[in-house]
Copies of this chain bind each other. A is one copy, B any other.
Amino acid sequence: MEDSLEFIPGGVTSPVGFQAGAVCAGIQGKTAGKPDLAILTSGLPVTAAAVFTTNRIQAAPVLLSRRRLQGGRVAAVVVNSGCANAFTGEPGLADAAEMAALAAERAGVSAAEVVAASTGLIGSRLPMESIRAAIPRIVLRREGGPELARALMTTDTVPKEAAVRVGGRFILGGAAKGSGMVHPDMATMLCLLTTDAAVSPDFLRAALRRAADLSFNMISIDGDTSTNDMVLLMANGGAGGETITAASRDAALFQEALDRLCIRLAKAVARDGEGATRLIEVIVKGAADGAEARRAARTIVASPLVKAAVHGNDPNWGRVVAALGRSGAAVEERRLSLYFGDVCLVKDGRVLPYDAGRAAGALGGDEVVITLEMGLGEGTATAWGCDLSAEYVAINSQYST
């Protein structure tokens, strides 16, 4: 079917016309052997849009990329893990610019059309000698998507990539990283997205912002947010077809494909939260409005007490109610219903007797769904996060040393 959306194996190089490659530059001392430096390129400047962290401390690559994105066209992105190049001042900005220039040379594009992204430790300079030696060794190819996804990883335990095909018309692909310092209200991690659809710059920006709001801005791992977060979407038009604008018949279709791709990647990030053993999905229905639903869902999924209860299979629903109450969303106790999986614990404000085994079972799977029906209006939202384990503490007690 012409309009069908279908997830296919693949990632950033699944849309036609994109190439990627990665190399181990030794930036991540600990994980030597894994690639940690990568380039993604469309070979020529294409329409691009991005959303960035709202943190007031912005890493050098964020400052550089934000400036270069103003033109709305990007030919390549160079990305490294192991060093955030954040809080590095003017020298850090020069490093980011040099890294972009080296990548431009490798990809055969103009330096001014290359953006950069970094993730890792804050406050250290990039090891530029290693990077100068490594970039020329990067081989750009159609099959390079998976190695780029691996190069993004820091404390991630699995690479995160996905691709969706829309009928025979166009493809969207993406790769993401993120497993600590992840929280709503930000472009919460690194994510590179590509498509071979032709899309107008204005619509591309609007579509990306909407998709990020439904996906990356609805996940939380630990309430912290990074200095480096960035979601970049490049559209090269390689699939042919008319340029999609907000007024196009295909606008809704493109938006839906992008939403679903971003949600899939965001859930992969949440599921791979540092120390996580399961994905938590919080669905809020019937809030006074959409903004209140979002606020409620995000506050609950970010609550350390809720996360720890899920980790322990403890159906302590009172913590969900307490988090809801402090979210700022309007609540009426006697209208509230609450479910763990399909086990109803509260119905219209009344606490129901429940089978403790079934309730604990609803928390025990790989994916835990907590649903609230607030009975106040039409606002709905879904947020994703993960449980809180002792392993999270272990990982984060020993990161820099």
Partner-binding segment picked from A20-28, A132-140, A248-256, A325-333: A325-333
Partner of A223, one of B58, B304, B328, B329: B304
Partner-binding segment picked from A33-41, A83-91, A109-117, A170-178: A83-91
Contact indicator per residue, chain A 346-364, by CB within 8 Å of chain B (1) or not (0):
1001110000100010000
Complex contacts, A401 vs chain B, CB 8 Å = 312-316, 356, 360
In the complex the two chains form, what is the Cα distance from A325 to B398 in whole Å? 22
Which of A124, A312, A318, A360 has the most chain B CB atoms closer than 10 A to its own CB? A318
A57 interfacial by beta-carbon distance below 8 Å: yes
In the complex the two chains form, what is the Cα distance from A24 to B329 in whole Å? 38
Complex contacts, A390 vs chain B, CB 8 Å = 390, 393-394
User: Chain A interface mostly helix, strand, loop or mixed?
Assistant: loop
Task: Say yes or no: A322 contacts B89, CB within 8 Å.
Answer: no
Task: Say yes or no: A303 contacts B56, CB within 8 Å.
Answer: no
Tell me how many chains of this kind the complex includes. 2
Task: Say yes or no: A309 contacts B396, CB within 8 Å.
Answer: yes
A227 interfacial by beta-carbon distance below 8 Å: yes
Partner of A326, one of B54, B325, B328: B54
A200 interfacial by beta-carbon distance below 8 Å: no
Partner of A393, one of B84, B308, B327: B308
Complex contacts, A311 vs chain B, CB 8 Å = 393, 397
In the complex the two chains form, what is the Cα distance from A400 to B388 in whole Å? 17
Task: Say yes or no: A224 contacts B181, CB within 8 Å.
Answer: no
Residues A187-241 near B (CB distance < 8 A): 222-227
Task: Say yes or no: B312 contacts A398, CB within 8 Å.
Answer: yes
Partner of A329, one of B54, B56, B180, B303: B56
A246 interfacial by beta-carbon distance below 8 Å: no
A121 interfacial by beta-carbon distance below 8 Å: yes
Closest 7 A-B residue pairs measured CB to CB? Answer: A122-B318, A312-B397, A57-B325, A308-B396, A390-B390, A55-B325, A316-B400
Known A123-B321, A223-B302; further 9 A-B contacts with Cβ < 8 A: A89-B349, A121-B316, A124-B351, A186-B326, A304-B396, A308-B392, A308-B397, A309-B397, A314-B400
